[in-house]
Amino acid sequence: MSEKSGSIIMGMIWMFVISLLLIWLPGIGPLIAGIVGGKTAGGVMAGMLAAMLPGMLLAGGLFAFGTVFTGLPFVGAIIAGGGVLLYAIYVLPLLIGAFIGGLLA
């Protein structure tokens, strides 16, 4: 039996690079990036994690830096919320693609 192997980090990198290259295809670009990233990650759960982890890191970073630079935690929370909202709009086709790619792995 062959053991499935994959890398969540490489899945995230592939999703990022392909998303940047296919930014001119709204909806289809993230779907293709999710399929490739999910297949590279090696499974459904790994693909979903590879799609969600950058958004969580982005939200945490925006909150931390928004708070540090403004000195107000409330403003940092608003900045982080805006970033998460934009990522939530983008992540749906990416998650669907990661699910399909994970099934193909």
Confidence of residue 38 (pLDDT cuts 50, 70, 90): very high
What is the model's pTM? 0.76
pLDDT of 2: 47
Structural domains in the chain (count):
1
Provide the token pair at 38.
């999910």
- Rounded distance, CA 53 to CA 58, Å? 9
Please check whether residue 3 lies inside any domain of the structure: no
Task: Report whether 70 contacts 76 (CB < 8 A).
Answer: yes
Q: Does residue 2 lie within any of the structural domains?
A: no
The answer as to whether 80 is a domain residue is yes
Q: Are 44 and 95 in contact (CB under 8 A)?
A: no
Domain membership of residue 22 as a residue range: 8-104
Given a cut of 60, whether residue 3 has pLDDT beyond it is no
Q: Which of 3-7, 39-43, 86-90 has the lowest mean pLDDT?
A: 3-7
For residues 72-94, average pLDDT: 80
Q: Write a three-state SS string for 58-103.
A: HHHHHHHHHHHHHCCHHHHHHHHHHHHHHHHHHHHHHHHHHHHHHH
Average pLDDT over residues 22-50: 91
